[in-house]
Amino acid sequence: MARVYVGIGSNVEPEKHVSLGLRQLRQKFGALTVSTIYANPAVGFRGNDFFNLVVGFDTSLAVFAVAATLRDIEAHFQARGNGTKQTSRALDLDLLLYNDLVLQQGTLHIPREEITRYAFVLRPLAEIAGERQHPLLGTTFAELWAAFDTSSAEKLTPVALVPEQYDSDDCRSR
């Protein structure tokens, strides 16, 4: 079994899409370890605030099968819109870690560089996987978070979200 960590983001009806995204991930992968959800301003473009969190789960699927499943879930939500990287998203799922794998093949880069670049990725990852070591740096995620320049982290606001609020199987973005 592989331990996998996935970053989740949404700034289009984020309460709805994060809840529905969590449901889809549970259906595909089973039990999830879920971080706190944080609201933060859009980075790199003007847009609504994002909700961001990280989930962890165990799977017997190969890394490419996990990545394909995440892409399928995103497509179900019509998450990628115009294909531009920095744009509003109904649901964005980023494969951050797959065990201690280091991989750069096509668009699949593990571990994701965003882990050490953005507080909205590192903070929730450190929250649920603080004792794990970054596969390239050999430093734990808790240590990375403790050393992080928290000037950007001040923009993170914890969000209380009740996933059961959205008990619909209709996951299409409206």
Predicted structure pTM score: 0.88
pLDDT in tens, 76-124: 887 444 455 566 779 999 999 999 999 999 999 999 999 999 999 999 9
Instruction: Give the pLDDT band (50/70/90) at residue 153.
Output: low
The CATH number of residue 70's host domain is 3.30.70.560
Q: Which two tokens stand for residue 4?
A: 């996998």
Task: Examine the pLDDT at 29 and tell me if it is beyond 70.
Answer: yes
Within 5-139, residue ranges assigned H as helices are 14-29, 63-76, 114-117, 119-129
> Residue 137 belongs to what domain range?
2-165
Average of per-residue pLDDT across 125-148: 98
Is 170 contained in some domain? no
Is 43 contained in some domain? yes
Exposure string (b/e) for 130-167, b if CB count within 10 Å is 16 or more?
A: eebebbeeeebbebbbeebeeebbeebeebebebeebe
pLDDT of residue 42: 80
Number of domains in the chain: 1
